[in-house]
């Protein structure tokens, strides 16, 4: 993920340098692009998902090993005025997380090494509804912040699976609700608008499906488990 962030900031730095921010005379690319009431596009990007845990009693925290995932989707944008837009960004999000438990979760019982690890692979249909607040355009650059809510359908949730951790199946909720906050830069190129952005995604609900056994070592002490995610998207309009 460090490499992804480096690429993001390098791209932004290159464009800032070439834009000549302090020049008063600059040829504007796509000068009337933002005047359209409706506009469309698509995006590609990367994600890193994490979990935030709350516990009933103090224990050593469950460690989440994170992997870089992939995002792809479409963009629909409605212009409200020069500084505010409403947008919807339905897409497909693929991610992977691995939970590593401390041996303290299994104190007093026999366990195997495989019991200390659970893999969660997720494929989401992710649908954000966002409000974009833009600054004034400077030459061929327009920075913005974005905020909103999103819902996601986890196609890999295992919510309805009758098996649980006793059979190595870690279950999470199928439908989730999040709030999102982010920043980005619209870069007006000769033929299209290119937008790198970075956004945080935060769950608003508990996503854990408890094991059938109320004394399950994997889920008994977890009072709440919520997703935290980071998206880096590259949008083309």
pLDDT value for 12: 52
Domain CATH number, residue 178: 2.40.160.20
Going 226 to 65 to 43 to 31, the CA torsion angle's sign is positive
Place of tokens 């897409």: 91
The pLDDT of 54-77, averaged and rounded, is 93
pTM above 0.75, yes or no: yes
Q: Domain range for residue 65?
A: 2-20+37-236
Q: Is residue 186 part of a domain?
A: yes
3-state secondary structure of 133: strand
Going 191 to 192 to 193 to 197, the CA torsion angle's sign is negative
Q: Is residue 140 part of a domain?
A: yes
Question: Where does the chain have alpha helices with state H?
Answer: 2-19
Going 105 to 121 to 98 to 58, the CA torsion angle's sign is negative
Q: Is residue 26 part of a domain?
A: no
Indicate the number of domains in the chain.
1
For residue range 171-192, what is the model confidence (pLDDT) as tens digits?
Answer: 999 999 999 999 999 999 989 9
Q: Is residue 101 part of a domain?
A: yes
For residue range 73-104, what is the model confidence (pLDDT) as tens digits?
Answer: 999 999 999 999 999 999 999 999 999 998 88
Taking the C-alpha atoms of residue 155 and residue 168, their distance in angstroms, rounded to an integer, is 18
CA distances from 5 to 46, 48, 133, 137 (A): 10, 11, 23, 24
The continuous run of DSSP H or E covering 98 comes out as strand 91-100
Closest Cα to residue 197, out of 184, 178, 211, 182? 184
Going 4 to 226 to 106 to 161, the CA torsion angle's sign is negative
Q: Is residue 128 part of a domain?
A: yes
Taking the C-alpha atoms of residue 94 and residue 122, their distance in angstroms, rounded to an integer, is 6
Q: Is residue 184 part of a domain?
A: yes
pLDDT value for 18: 46
Across the strands, what pairs with 100? 63, 117
Q: Is residue 105 part of a domain?
A: yes
pLDDT value for 9: 52
pLDDT value for 105: 86
The DSSP letter of residue 208 is B
Taking the C-alpha atoms of residue 229 and residue 198, their distance in angstroms, rounded to an integer, is 11
Q: Is residue 181 part of a domain?
A: yes
Query: pLDDT: is 14 or 216 the higher one?
Result: 216
Give every CB contact of residue 84 below 8 A, 6+ residues apart in sequence: 131, 132, 133, 134
């Amino acid at each position: 993920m460090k490499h992804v962030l480096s690429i993001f900031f390098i791209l932004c730095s290159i464009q800032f340098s070439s834009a000549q921010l302090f020049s008063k005379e600059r040829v504007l690319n796509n000068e009337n692009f933002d005047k359209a009431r409706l506009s469309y596009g698509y995006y590609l990007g990367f994600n890193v998902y994490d979990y935030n845990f709350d516990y009933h009693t103090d224990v050593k925290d469950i460690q989440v090993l994170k992997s870089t995932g992939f995002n792809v989707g479409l963009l629909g944008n409605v212009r409200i005025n020069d500084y505010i837009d409403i947008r919807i960004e339905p897409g497909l999000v693929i991610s992977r997380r691995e939970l590593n438990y401390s041996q303290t979760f299994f104190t007093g019982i026999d366990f195997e090494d495989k019991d200390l690890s659970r893999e969660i692979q997720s494929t989401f249909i992710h649908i954000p509804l966002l409000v974009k607040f833009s600054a004034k355009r400077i030459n061929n650059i327009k920075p913005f912040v974005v905020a909103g809510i999103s819902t996601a359908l986890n196609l890999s949730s295992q919510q309805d699976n009758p098996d649980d951790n006793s059979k190595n199946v870690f279950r999470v909720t199928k439908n989730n609700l999040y709030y999102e906050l982010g920043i980005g830069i619209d870069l007006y190129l000769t033929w299209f608008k290119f937008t790198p952005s970075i956004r945080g995604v935060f769950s608003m609900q508990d996503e854990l499906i408890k094991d059938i056994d109320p004394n399950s070592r994997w889920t008994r002490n977890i009072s709440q488990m919520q997703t935290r995610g980071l998206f880096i998207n590259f949008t083309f309009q």
